[in-house]
Amino acid sequence: MKYKTYYAEENDSVRERYRLIMERISEIKTENTVKEPYRDYFVKCGDDLLFIKKLFDMSEEGSYRKLSISELQDINLRLHGEIRDNYDKSYLNPTYMNHTIGEEYGKYLLWLGVSIRNLAASALSVKLEPIAAYAEVFVEIYNLFESEDLSEKNLKNIIYWFVHDCSEIFIEYNIREMFDEKSDFALSIIRESDLRDLKYLYYYGAYISRNEIETAKLLNTFSEDKIEAMAKTYTEGFIKGFKVLGKDISKKETVEIRYSIGFERVIKAAICQFEKAGLKTVIRLAGCDSTPANRQYGYDHRYLDGPIFDKCIKDRNIEVLKVMLERYKDMAGKMAGPAVLETFGEIPFSPEDKKEAVKYTQKQYKLRNDYNREYTDILHRYVREEERSFTIIAYPVADIGENYREIFEETIKINNLDENMYKNIQTQLINALDKGKYVEIKGMNGNKTNLRVSLKELKNPEKETLFENCLADVNIPLGEVFTSPKLTGTEGILHVTKVYLKGLNYIDLSLKFKDGCIEEYSCGNFDSEAANKAYIKENLLKGHDTLPMGEFAIGTNTTAYVVGQKYNIIPVMPILIVEKMGPHFAVGDTCYSYEEEEKTYNPDGKEIAAKSNEISDLRKTEPEKAYFNCHTDITIPYNELGQINVITRENTVIPIIKEGRFVLRGTEMLNDAFDKK
């Protein structure tokens, strides 16, 4: 099977550069012009680049996909075995690099080594220019280490101007892959492979673990009807999202599918279903996830560009982005949005915060947040929020434990609960919440939560509502009502004993709010209070000094909670499901960021009137202050929930939940799942 993307149209000059630079790299191993400890590093990186060349050549000529599964597994081990099995003594490890090469040059050579490792995806998808470019900068740096001009300043300048000047190449690749259905590398794997033969898992170049293998094996035991039904839940949720939000899907021609490797049978069915609905599929290689070979590796390099990232680089990337989006604006305008299939169940990860790892300065944090805000603003000019939608669904992987198949089957059921029943129950819940001036939430069983969440005042209760009735469309499974709270008057402590957020574990996480914004924060992950605060600020607050409470919600999916309790998997369930298993509070932007002006309605016809807060209201006068470009949900599980009460404007109390059970009239049926467990 020969795979050749349209990127192979790259011109003859690129091919000649590639040929010459690879010839030069092949000579390095026999030379002694660079002294130790640097020579060993360059020999190792040179070998890696020559291996990348081998992968590219095999992919271009079509022989790669003809390899046996054992040969493909050997290649996968060659690509990922170092960080999986020998990370402690790897030049990709900042601690090892610091001890062997030294801090002065090590942080730059670390950038180079990680960048070279990342070229496997370019090789397998036949993208020549990135390989040629990185090979050339490798040789330029090698030449510097041969010369008398070696200095940190000169080394930094080589990398800095490479990143600056090559931004046009890399950003254009990213934009084309984001919108162009001709970027068909992953599509070719799904459409052209025998998905019963697990060889195909190794075509991506991503690390293939037990999770990907066991997922593919499990799905291969399912009937075609069952696979079609799983895909239908996913595709209909996406299409239904347009209807619920009052958006016209007929204007769109493409949908971006993101998924975890191993789910190709479901994705293949989804592609066909989308095509019948008039949507072509776009899949970015970056949208095909797999289990990391070593999560510490990813955590260590989250700020890899720290040595060179500055305002000039930020501004250059933004200007190039504007040019590329304008160039591909027709494709961007046809994009309907992302349909995401994610996984859960991976072993929780508590990272080591290495002192040798590159970190951003406070100035760089601000620059990165500015970049993210500007990037989002520009992207929304071409992929307009008022014209797009999304859907997201999740399934477990084998790491979840010995009951993997049973949990998978239970998840299918959770993703297909009775929508009409929940619609009616949640309407009753919303009717009570709409009477509130504020809601009080208190924890129990070791949970120290004591919160007051302020609500906006409805001007027209007959036609308006504060809370959205969330069913099975964009956010699967169903089971929550949510609002954008009023920040003024929202105060108190939010506490969770243990939670897994964005792939990271938090122990005894505590956030103190004043007027809706985080005033103090702590956790118990590390021995040092300073380390705990730094961990929260970096990963939860995304470098901001504070974040507002962008969402308050009450989850109603007691069935999902009982399944989580039965199999003892709640700590590893995704927030997508966990947020439906109790009240949750999002820090960051509201659920309606960039869509505040669009009218949204509940099934009962009432318009959602609480789509912004005092901060996002700045979007017209001070847009740089209105958004944070992050949104992280934190849930209190039912077994830690003492009470939720609505306090009305007449100061009467309407109990919603007491000691983990729904007590509001019309919602008692939600307790049936507890009684059946």
Residue 9's pLDDT is what?
52
Instruction: State how far the Cα of 104 lies from the Cα of 546, in Å rounded to an integer.
Output: 33
DSSP 8-state secondary structure symbol assigned to residue 659: T
What digits encode the pLDDT tens for the residues 180-211?
988 889 999 999 999 999 999 999 999 999 99
> Percentage of the chain surpassing pLDDT 70?
98
Q: Which tens digits make up the pLDDT trace of 405-417?
A: 999 999 999 999 9
CB atoms within 10 A of CB 30: 7
Confidence of residue 676 (pLDDT cuts 50, 70, 90): confident
E strands, 566-608, are 583-588, 607-608
Structure tokens at 71: 């040969």
Distance CA 630, CA 542 (A): 8
Give the residue from 654, 444, 478 showing the smallest Cα distance to 553.
478
The closest of 604, 614, 284, 656 to 461, measured between CA atoms, is 604
DSSP 626-637: H--S-EEEEE--
Per cent of the chain over pLDDT 90 is 90
State the average pLDDT over residues 166-176. 94
Domain parsing of the chain, residue ranges: 1-165, 167-416, 417-676
What was the pLDDT predicted at 1? 40
pTM of the prediction? Answer: 0.92
Q: Which residues contact residue 27 at a Cβ distance below 8 angstroms, ignoring those fewer than 6 apart?
A: none
Residue 622 has, within 13 A of its CA and on its CB side, a CA count of 8
Can you spell out the DSSP letters for 111-174?
HHHHHHHTTHHHHHTT-HHHHHHHHHHHHHHHHHHHSTT--HHHHHHHHHHHHHHTHHHHHHHH
DSSP label of 101: T
pLDDT reported for residue 472: 81
Query: Using the 8-state DSSP alphabet, how is residue 446 labeled?
Result: T
What pLDDT shows up at residue 3?
44
pLDDT tens, residue by residue, 80-114? 999 999 999 999 999 999 999 999 999 999 999 99
Tokens 């992280």 locate to: 632
Q: Based on C-alpha coordinates, what's the Rg of the chain? A: 26
Instruction: Write out the E strands in 97-224.
Output: none
pLDDT of 677 reads 58
Check whether 8 has a pLDDT greater than 50: no
Per-residue pLDDT tens for 20-72? 999 999 999 999 999 999 999 999 999 999 999 999 999 999 999 999 999 99
Question: For residue 39, which phi and psi values (nearest 5 degrees)?
Answer: -60, -45
pLDDT in tens, 629-650: 999 999 999 999 999 999 999 9
For 220, 359, 369, 533, the CA distances from 545, given in Å and listed in that order, are 48, 17, 12, 11
Let me know the angle formed at the C-alpha of 246 by 241 and 251, rounded to the nearest 5 degrees: 85
Sign (positive/negative) of CA torsion 671, 673, 675, 677?
Answer: negative
C-beta separation of 430 from 640 below 8 A: no
Pairing of strands 254-260, 288-289: parallel
